[in-house]
Chains A and B, each alone.
Chain A
């Protein structure tokens, strides 16, 4: 299978604490992969290592953009470069730009795909104007897809919780990723919103051809949409497989529910 992301032997130390220990993970093209595990297992640290926020202590993060067959090593490069290479992510706690409008939040995502420098922005040549018009159009199109088109001029901070979560996804989409990393996208959502999210994520994969790696605690959501699941605990991978395999894996059940008491 063609790979979008391949992580090999990834370890991350914070002082004497080993937060991630020799982790392997891969995400195929057009695949939805879930990363699950108890709280504090190192899932978010794993995302931070992939997106360049922390340089991993050991191991490799390899990516391959659409249409390229060679894997490229990206660990150690800066977050904005990682985004330019085609990885986008959302956060566990919402991190929008609260005092900017919905449209501006999405347009910021287009920033890294635009070429006009500061001089062009001030002098406003025809190419700059064209580029900005296109950015507005593209951002509208994304908001349309995500279902936020009616809120374009609203400040991000005034949106409902569910809508803010969707806006985060919209902003991530605007960077034109081939791989989207979602950190607990359903956290705090009601069952209705979760169902909509489920559909949205599947659509992003099916219609845009974006591979997805997500961290999620909502098992119903994980089981219904993932192609494969990786389970981590204490920074180590303890299992991987299809939803069915994971559901019946005794190691996973133990990690989640604790040691079975002897009857």
Chain B
């Protein structure tokens, strides 16, 4: 039973990180119907930024919790700036072009960012220090769940609640929903659609950066290529849940996390990815629009 619980919580942790990154895919898709392939790279840049900040602040000898928080904040700001810029450079000029053009532009942006980080930083793996302290209260359960996992779960929950409040209850959120339902009409009721699209990219990039810092702390290693696989997995999570749907992205993330965790635990870790993608194929056969997706018009 403990083993099951360990796998369950492990899957939940993994799933929440997929969910954090899947949110960015799904929000952007909901608003401009574009698969932002550069999104995984934004997450990678978030992890790199955090590592640089951590290295500098550790040299200055700061308190570890403060370092982690500052690193997180800087990573969020930096990644958001990247997300904003990528949209302005690579997608905005193609707003009225066929959707395939924007998709190719996204793939190009993804490759560019990967190689840019490879040249600017290093092609090697770097170790990412885990600055999350071991909490006392977790000691008795240490065989099931660690403090890093706890922090990941709590952070994810907080981010998701904030995002839900933003979209459901604020003026900006209303404008985002209106833009995703009818762009021209949104403009005609006085919404600055370009600004709303920028906000969507910034919000998606910020959640990806948080995911980046968390997963780097969890795994302990980063390089320029980490964005690719996690990006694909998060994209799978978004499609699984129904792309364009925010609860769908979260659900998809958890399902993917559990699938991987149980497959690794009960079958073999070699089959981790096989199961994840097998699950995707099965769901898409029976529910082509994803679990919570509606066929037809997508929205956030």
Which residue numbers of A lie inside 8 Å of B, CB to CB?
A: 51-53, 78-80, 82-84, 88-89, 91, 95-100, 104, 107-109, 111-114, 116-118, 121-122, 132, 135, 171-172, 174-175
Contacts and interface: CB of A to CB of B under 8 A. Distances in A.
Contacts of B166: 118, 121-122
Nearest to B166: A122
B181 A80 contact: no
A86 to B, nearest CB: 10
B178 A89 contact: no
Nearest to B185: A95
B182 A108 contact: no
B188 A51 contact: yes
Nearest to B299: A99
B171 A132 contact: yes
A122 B187 contact: no
Nearest to A89: B188
A117 B172 CA distance: 8
A121 B166 CA distance: 7
14 contacts: A79-B184, A83-B188, A91-B185, A95-B182, A97-B182, A98-B181, A99-B299, A108-B175, A108-B178, A111-B171, A111-B174, A111-B190, A122-B165, A122-B170
B80 to A, nearest CB: 11
Give the dominant DSSP class at A's interface: helix
B172 A118 contact: yes
B181 A100 contact: yes
A79 B179 CA distance: 13
Contacts of A96: 185
A135 B190 CA distance: 15
B189 interface: yes
A171 B182 CA distance: 14
A206 to B, nearest CB: 24
Interface string B274-289: 0000000000000000
Nearest to A53: B184
Contact of B175 (A53, A88, A111): A111
B279 to A, nearest CB: 29
B181 A97 contact: yes
Best-buried of B182, B184, B190 by chain A (most CB within 10 Å): B190
A171 B174 contact: no
B174 A116 contact: no
Contacts of A171: 189
A111 B170 contact: no
Given A97-B178, A99-B299, A111-B174, A118 B199 contact: yes
B162 A122 contact: yes
- Nearest first, the 5 closest Cβ-Cβ pairs linking A and B are A112-B190, A83-B190, A121-B170, A79-B187, A95-B185
A108 B174 contact: yes
A37 B257 CA distance: 61
A69 to B, nearest CB: 24
Given A121-B170, A121-B172, A122-B170, A108 B184 contact: no
Contact of B174 (A82, A83, A89, A107): A107
A80 B175 CA distance: 12
A84 B299 CA distance: 26
B191 interface: yes
Contacts of B189: 83, 88, 108-109, 111-112, 171-172, 174-175
A125 to B, nearest CB: 12
B177 interface: yes
Nearest to A109: B189
Nearest to A174: B189
Counting chain B CB atoms within 10 Å of each CB, the highest count among A99, A117, A175 belongs to A99
